[in-house]
Structure 1
Amino acid sequence: MATIYISLGSNIEADTHIRRGLDDLARQYHNLIISSVFESEAVGFEGDNFLNLVARAETDQPIGEVVATFKAIEQAHGRQRGAKKFAPRTLDLDLLLYDEVQCQSPVELPRPEIYHNAFVLWPLAELAPDLVPPGQPHTLGALWQAYDKTQQQLWPVPFAWPRS
C-alpha cells in the first residue's frame, strides 16, 4: 500500500466542490485524512478566493491510475480540460507525493508546487511535519518554518467534513 498526498483546491462554489471531492476520494482510497482548510487569494489571475487543503491516503493503484482517477473526479465536478493554467477551478486535484517516488512521468514527483506555494506547503507540513520529501534534506515542517510567508497570504478557515 502506497501513501499518497493530494492537494485539493477550488474557487468556484469552493465549499461544495471540496466536500464532494473529498467524498469521491474517500470512496477510492483508504484511510483518508485531511489537513486544515486554508483560504487564499487567487494566484496568477483575478478571481474569487480559493479554498485549499491536503489529504493523505493509502492506495494500491500505481501512479498513472491515481492521476487518471484524479482527472475523472475533476471532470465529474465540471473541470474543463485544456483551460488556462491560471483560471478559476471547480476542483483541482494534484498528486504531491507517492511514497518515496521521484519521477518525471506520468507526473513530476515530488510535485514542485510543494516548495513554492504556501497553500500547498502549509497544509502538507501540518499533516506530515516530520516527513522528508524524496530528494530533500529537510522535513516538511522545517521547509514551512523557513518559507517566506510574505509571498502569499492565506489563513485557516472553519471546515468540518464528516470523515475528518
Structure 2
Amino acid sequence: MVETYIGIGSNLGDRRDFCARALGLLGMLPQSQLVRYSSAYETEPVGDVGGPFLNLVARVDTDLPAWRLLLILKETERGMGRDPDRSSGPRTMDLDLLFYGDQVIHDNGLEVPHPRLHERRFVLAPLAELTPAFRHPALGETVASLLTTLKDPHAVRRLEEPVVPWTPGGACRP
C-alpha cells in the first residue's frame, strides 16, 4: 500500500460536520485504510474566500492509483456541495492529495506533491503533527523543517476538540 496524505478543509456551513463526513468517507475508500488524522486547526483564509477554515490532514494507505484517488476526492467534494467550476472562494469541502508516497507526478491535472503545500501553514501544521520527519520528495526537506522556515503570515490555531469521523452507524475513532 502507498502512504498518502490528504488535506481536508471547509469554511461554509457546519465545518466540523463536513470534515467529519469527509473523514468517514476516506475511511470507506476501496482498497484503502484511514490510518490516522491530525487535530483540527482553525485557519485564516488565503485570499478572498470567506470566513475561517477548519483544516486537518489524514493519512490514508491505499492500493488505488494516484489518478483514481484524485478522481474520488473530486467526486467527494462535489457530493458535499462544492462547485467544481470555482477554484477559489468559500467551499463546503476541499480535499487535496498532498503526497502519494514519495512519488513526484505531473500528469493531466494530477500534481503530486501538491504544488503549494510548502507555502501554506494551514497544510504544514496538521501535516507536521502527523509526520514531522516525512521528506517532501521534490524539495528534500522534512515537513517539520518546511514548517519552521515558513514565512506564511496566516494564523493557524489548533483546536482541542477533535473531529470524529462520521460513519453510517454514527461517529467512531480509527
TM-score range, shorter chain: over 0.9
RMSD: 1.4
Shift of 1:46: 5.0
Q: Which residue, 48, 69, 89 being the options, matches 2:72?
A: 69
In 2, Cα distance between the equivalents of 1:79 and 1:46? 13
> How far apart, CA to CA, are the structure 1 residues paired with 2:145 and 2:45?
26
What stretches of structure 2 of length at least 5 have no aligned partner? 165-171
The aligned runs of 1:1-164 (5 Å cut-off) are: 1-12=1-12, 13-28=14-29, 29-83=32-86, 85-106=87-108, 107-148=110-151, 151-157=153-159, 158-161=161-164, 162-164=172-174
1:36 Cα deviation from its structure 2 partner: 1.2
Deviations 1:55-103 (A, max 9, x none): 00111100110011101111111111102x3201111101000011101
1:18 maps to a residue whose letter is: C
- Gaps (5+ residues) in structure 1? none
Partners of 1:3 and 1:137 in 2: CA distance:
17
Aligned identity (percent) is 34
- 2:16·2:163 contact (CA, 8 Å) conserved in 1? no
Shift >3 Å, 4+ stretches? none
Q: Which has the higher helix share?
A: 1
TM-score of the superposed pair, with normalisation by structure 1 = 0.93
